[in-house]
Amino acid sequence: MSIDTDSVSPDTDTYPVVITIARDFGAEGHEIGKMLSLELGIPFYDNELLVRASERAGSSVSDAAAYDEQCAAELFAFLPDAVDARSAGDKLFAHVVEVVQELGCKSCIIEGRLSDYILRDNPNQISVLVTAPLEARIEIVRRKRGWDEKRAKKLVKKMQRGRELFYERYSKGKCGLHDHKDLIVNRARFGRQGCVDIIAAAYRAKVAAVERAASEGASAAEAAE
């Protein structure tokens, strides 16, 4: 796998190589993110985002969790931030943005919370979608929770809709859960480890491209002297 140096920035102080993971509910994106962190030796942030954002908002993690990647009031989805009718979820998300931007100053893996859209100006970002067919995701949830298929299907559809609305709301309709991804991996087809291997290969190819770009820039500067 090779990436064109024209598509990356050699300035890793400003633009570190960051992996953002969006995931369909039940596709085990969290588990894959944790395994990827061990494989690559870089930090993984998922629930930590919520903990840090809730601390800044002055609320408990349990209270913040009620709004995490959900839309409490679809009615106000596209109103400007200045509107007083903003929900607690809107206010929490403002702190989530701050946390994602700060964590994204170093190479890491950030899961969910619209992180791919928040860091969209970083040319060294690798935006990933972890997915699987609906039937496979229902079976994963059913097996993990010991539920029947009907109950698992209801939860998967509810949580999936919440994540889709979350993207629509906080990107102001500019980015959907499945939009603008650099890499899409099918957990049902490749399994957890297979997805980790694919994403890790993309990360290493991106790092190599950034290093080549830096080397080419240094060579050009020397030639100009």
Asked if residues 52 and 159 have their Cβ atoms less than 8 Å apart, the reply is no
Distance CA 66, CA 164 (A): 16
* Position 84 confidence tier, pLDDT thresholds 50, 70, 90: very low
pLDDT in tens, 171-205: 999 999 999 999 999 999 999 999 999 999 999 99
Query: Of 189, 36, 11, 180, which is closest to residue 105 (Cα–Cα)?
Result: 11
Q: State residue 52 phi and psi, 5-degree precision.
A: -65, -40
Residue 86 has pLDDT above 60, yes or no: no
Give strand pairing partners of 45. 110
Identify the three-state secondary structure at position 7.
helix
Retrieve residue 44's tokens: 């993984």
Q: What is the pLDDT of residue 209?
A: 97
Q: What is the pLDDT of residue 225?
A: 64
Query: Of 199, 206, 154, 202, which is closest to residue 31 (Cα–Cα)?
Result: 199
Query: Of 130, 135, 100, 95, which is closest to residue 114 (Cα–Cα)?
Result: 100
Asked if residues 86 and 71 have their Cβ atoms less than 8 Å apart, the reply is no
Name residues whose C-beta falls within 8 Å of residue 56's C-beta, 6 or more positions apart in sequence: 95, 98, 99
Residues of the chain above pLDDT 90, percent: 72
pLDDT in tens, 13-37: 999 999 999 999 999 999 999 999 9
Distance CA 214, CA 11 (A): 8
Distance CA 75, CA 90 (A): 12
* Position 74 confidence tier, pLDDT thresholds 50, 70, 90: very low
